[in-house]
Chain A
Amino acid sequence: MSDTTTARPADALRADDTPPEQTSSGTVRRVGGVTGWVDDRTGGAKGVNYLLRKVFPDHWSFMLGEIAMYSLIICLITGAFLTFWFVPSMGLITYDGSYVPMQGVLMSEAYASTLHISFDIKGGLLIRQMHHWAALMFIAAITVHMLRVFFTGAFRKPRELNWVIGTVLALLAIIEGFAGYSLPDDLLSGTGLRATQGFILTVPVVGSYIAFALFGGDFPGELIIPRLYAVHVLLLPAILVGLFIVHIVMVAVNKHTQYPGPGKTNDNVVGYRVMPVYAAKAGGFFFLVFGVTALLAAVAQINAVWVHGPYDPSAVTAGAQPDWYMWFSDGALRLLPGWLEFVVFGFTFSLNIALGSIVLLPLIYVVLGIYPFVERWVTGDTREHHLLDRPRNAPVRTGLGMAAITFYTILALACVNDIIAIKTGMSINDLTNTFRVSLFLLPPLVFWITKRIALSLQRRDRDTVLHGRETGIVIRTPDGRFYERHEPLDEYTRWKLVSFESHAPLELEPATDANGVARKGARKDRVRAALSRFYFTDRVEPVTPAELAAAHHHGEEHEQLEVPAVATEQRITSGQH
């Protein structure tokens, strides 16, 4: 402060400076002098104020993305711990640690250090198991979060960009997971790498070159673990964290979507402010996820790497499955028949392997990534959407989603066909053939069933709005008829059921103009109109006030014992249309 220093002649140079404004209330001093110090140097108060005052809508399904975010943070924390003991080397040593069954066995340093973490480092097993559990939760949460976003239409404009980023995150997450569980170099993970080399070899023309590039020569070589380690702890985490920050910032910029309901519009966000409610809830939720991870690591053993011993290319164990998120790909490999491999001009095409691995994996994420753009093209809807769809109000989208889940699930189940066969005593050949057929039959069937269910639910909503809630009160009229009294819905409940849009199919303009000249883009429009019909031909409109009024006329005379003449007349008229 200036009163402690003597005035100097040079002070005159700064005499024209604007003196700093002083806050009068003293709250800055109360929240801590440090914040004032930081603000003097960053001017951050305004931006932080904005963030702390931000409103977030509340719904359980919005926590799914949060679980993914927190699991990622837990993976980063526990992963950093593990790097202090893990040795990413394939150099062979003789194990002399405290796990008796492996003493004297020749193994890689990677595997030996994983055993060291599991048996000799105090709490090492806990951290390792937390890391693995958090990774599984991360990918599971991403998947369910993605389904939530899909089924509620949250990917629509302006969030297509964030959907694409999310899709990339989901793909990178499973690659990161795969790289991670390959690191211990135990029998299971080595077998996974062996299969991976088999996939890569099927790349046309350059397959053997790519395989040699990745493995540094023959399989397994001594480089793949150190390379995967660099990918797992540095490269992919950097990209994951970077994209994840963009993902979160985009959520803040776009503001969170909300479910339709009373008071909620496309132009507002209804919910709680970050300070204090959301900070407490979200912050608390982080600790819950962290705690559940710790509890799982304490009571549920995962990836017991010591059971099958170090990797040996000539040894294998029955019931070899990758982590769950790779099941679909491994399952596809089990279903694809051998005749898909053929030789043309002496060159080998192994589609029986390539289709289930190097094609399927990227294909799924490309299809996911482009879906919003396809739907936008079909609907021709270029408006912003901040209110979510109830899945029933988008029957075809919901049906497509369910069909995709079915397809994915059959592939994933095919990966555990040996386990199912053992547990149920079925023939593994019959089981595999059943999966092969189901893969083509079930998705369309599930699509059709889901669409019908969604439409029926919409009709029931209409019915509830038009005729009210069933009260269970049966009334007998003087002329001896019985009916159940229906309670009209209150306006808040009704709004949930009527506040949706029902798209009509796009109408095709004539392919030729009045002079018979072909219109530009007519063929493209035909495809678009056909897709639009596929999406929107079967649809249910929300109830309008006029319809509700008409329905009341139908119903009301039951409650009136003496029907006035006018009402009777109206009833007859309405009965005629």
Chain B
Amino acid sequence: MADANHPSDYDADAYEREVGTAVSLDTGDHVGDGGLPERFENPGLPAHQPRMADLDDGAAKRAERQVATLFGISVVGTLGFLVAYFAVPTDARMFFPGLGDVSTSNFLLGVTLALSLLGIGAGAIHWAKTLMPDVEEIELRHPMRSAPEDREKFGDIVLGGGETAQLTRRPLLKYSMGGALGLFAIPLLVQLVGSLGPFDQPFRRLATTFWDGHEVDGDGNPIFVRPRLMRDPQNTPVRPEEVPIGSVFHIQPEGLLDLESHILEEKAKASVVLMRLNPSDFVSEKARDWGYEGIVAYSKICTHVGCPVGLYEQHTHHLLCPCHQSTFDVTDDCKVIFGPAKRALPQLKITVDDEGYLVADQPFQEPVGPSFWERERL
């Protein structure tokens, strides 16, 4: 072993001797069989090294001036903030290298406020580091647990308290109190949770859209009226000849955009995207049949978590949801071809009315938007 003498060589034998001594589960720690060799002693705190400012009065004076300067900068920042607040109008803009066009007021107020705060912070810390005592001090720790007699006493007090209150002697008190305390919060919870609602079969409302019809019959069922497809936001009806191949339209049902209230709730379910493809591009027979001369309408609400499926790729005929990248193939009935969504986008069957405008031939045949528990049962 020629290398065994090399100073940097690693003492593998000595290492092996120390490794592999297992201890029993009960002893818990590594100090097991008592065979552990003695350890190094803690050498204690190293000697304190005085700083420049401790030894040299000039250095201390310099530190004092630096701290005072930093505090001074803070005062300047504070005054600067006041000037900027009263002198600069809110709508003023300025160019700042590296930032571009910024709001003058925001920039000046922020920078001066920062100076005002940073000056104090830097000053205090510089003071602490240069002039305040830097001798480390030692505080002793004590075990967290209380002394045994205190723990004993605690047990006595708690149990004794129960004893003197006759809790142990009169179990009826114990159980009736337990019952009362256990139940008293229920009315409060019921009030809160019960009144949050509405809870009248919310899944039915998830499954209906404005396309089903806004008016209801005697039984409360919506009356379907073959609503026109209206451009969003122009609120104008669409003729097939206005939809060239490759174009895409955002559509709402007729009447939705005229609503006085709850317009967003209806939009969140009824939004539709309208596209025209070459009829020969369709793979799915149903997709073509439910359309009109290659014009198809699909729910715009993603079947994943409900973002609007906003991106249409003209040449691939893919609809992409920008939130989580679910990708739907328009030629194949908007089935999912990539991403986290499971279900195809529901299709809205369309045709044209007597005046030649596109209308819905029937409402959506399945709930739109994200999945929910009762979805398949409706």
Contact = CB atoms under 8 A, between A and B. Distances in A.
Contacts of B14: 547, 550-551
B141 A213 contact: no
Interface in B300-329: 300-301, 304-308, 310-311, 322-326
Nearest to A352: B340
Contact of B5 (A270, A271, A297, A558): A558
B265 A218 contact: yes
Interface in B65-105: 85, 90-91, 96, 99, 102-103, 105
B323 A483 contact: no
Interface in A531-572: 539-547, 550-551, 554-555, 557-558, 571
B322 A122 contact: no
A483 B27 CA distance: 46
B138 interface: yes
B7 A334 contact: no
A460 to B, nearest CB: 10
**Max chain B CB contacts within 10 Å: which of A220, A504, A525?**
A504
B46 interface: yes
A120 B9 CA distance: 73
Interface centre among B20, B106, B193, B311 (most CB of A within 10 A): B106
A194 B307 contact: yes
Contacts of A346: 376-377
A178 B198 CA distance: 25
In the complex, which of the residues A338, A459, A501 has the most CB atoms of chain B within 10 Å of its own CB atom?
A338
A84 to B, nearest CB: 16
Contacts of B235: none
Nearest to A263: B45
Contacts of A525: 25
Interface residues of A, number: 158
A224 to B, nearest CB: 11
Interface stretch (B34-42, B159-167, B213-221): B34-42
Given A221-B265, A379-B28, A429-B338, A287 B121 contact: yes
Interface stretch (A16-24, A27-35, A199-207): A199-207
Interface in A129-143: 129-130
Contacts of B173: none
Contact of A333 (B114, B125, B144, B324): B324
B128 interface: yes
A463 B121 contact: no
B4 to A, nearest CB: 6
A486 interface: yes
A319 B322 contact: yes
B373 A314 contact: no
Contacts of B110: 126, 129-130, 294-295, 297-299
Interface stretch (A3-11, A230-238, A487-495): A487-495
A212 B15 contact: no
A320 B310 CA distance: 12
A267 B45 CA distance: 14
B43 A314 contact: no
B29 interface: yes
Given A98-B91, A211-B202, A347 B377 contact: yes
Given A55-B137, A502-B30, A126 B304 contact: no
A406 B109 CA distance: 40
A216 interface: yes
B136 A270 contact: yes
A208 B202 contact: yes
Contacts of A205: 373
A263 B46 contact: yes
A295 B372 contact: no
A463 B118 contact: no
A62 interface: no
Contacts of A554: 4-5, 7, 9, 11
Contact of A119 (B8, B90, B119): B90
Contacts of A418: 322, 325
A327 B121 CA distance: 33
A495 B125 CA distance: 30
A272 B42 contact: no
B289 interface: no
Nearest to A260: B42
B128 A284 contact: yes
Contact of A551 (B11, B193, B206): B11
B141 A212 contact: no
Given A338-B342, A498-B40, A508-B25, A217 B307 contact: no
A147 interface: no
Contact of B373 (A255, A273, A347, A571): A347
B114 A334 contact: no
Interface in A60-75: none
A285 interface: yes
B11 to A, nearest CB: 6
15 contacts: A54-B139, A122-B90, A208-B374, A285-B125, A291-B121, A294-B110, A295-B111, A298-B107, A314-B250, A348-B373, A352-B342, A383-B29, A541-B18, A545-B39, A550-B14
Closest 5 CB pairs of A and B: A298-B110, A198-B305, A284-B124, A287-B121, A263-B45
Interface of B: 1, 4-11, 13-15, 18-25, 27-30, 32, 37-40, 42-46, 85, 90-91, 96, 99, 102-103, 105-111, 113-125, 127-129, 132-134, 136-141, 143-144, 193, 196-199, 202-203, 205-206, 232, 250, 252, 262, 264-265, 267-269, 271, 300-301, 304-308, 310-311, 322-326, 336, 338-343, 369-377
Given A263-B136, A386-B141, 7 more contacts: A212-B196, A221-B265, A277-B132, A295-B118, A313-B264, A504-B22, A541-B15
